[in-house]
Structure 1
């Protein structure tokens, strides 16, 4: 198994870099992040993208139904 880094762009995780496992490295994969601290629940969604120039990046998505 190879670990690689993924960067988050936009939303509350903007700028975060974390490991991305081989099994997670699928373009178009969706990630749901739920923030429950100090107030109302805030739910954000990210979509995974890959380009040779930037590598793996989760981009903030619009609202989901």
Structure 2
């Protein structure tokens, strides 16, 4: 199994780059990030997209506070 990089755009993870395994590289995949430090719980959602120009990118697709 190989890995590649994925970049985050928007939200609290903006600019982060991390490994993306082959099994995770599925366009439309949703990722949920929950921030619990110093305040209310903030839940952020990202959608995985791929283009030949930019490669794999998680784009911010919504956020809710609880």
Runs of 4+ residues deviating >6 angstroms? none
- Size of the alignment, in residue pairs? 64
Provide the rounded CA distance (Å) in 2 between the counterparts of 1:59 and 1:35.
Answer: 17
Q: Deviations over 1:14-64 (max 9, x none)?
A: 000000001100000000000001111000000000001000000000247
1:19-34 map, 5 Å: 19-34=19-34
List gaps (5 residues or longer) in structure 2. none
Higher strand share: 2
Q: TM-score, normalised by structure 2?
A: 0.93
Q: Aligned-pair RMSD on alpha carbons?
A: 1.1
TM-score by length of 1: 0.94
Q: Secondary structure at the match of 2:62?
A: coil
Structure 1 segments unaligned to the other structure (5+ residues): none
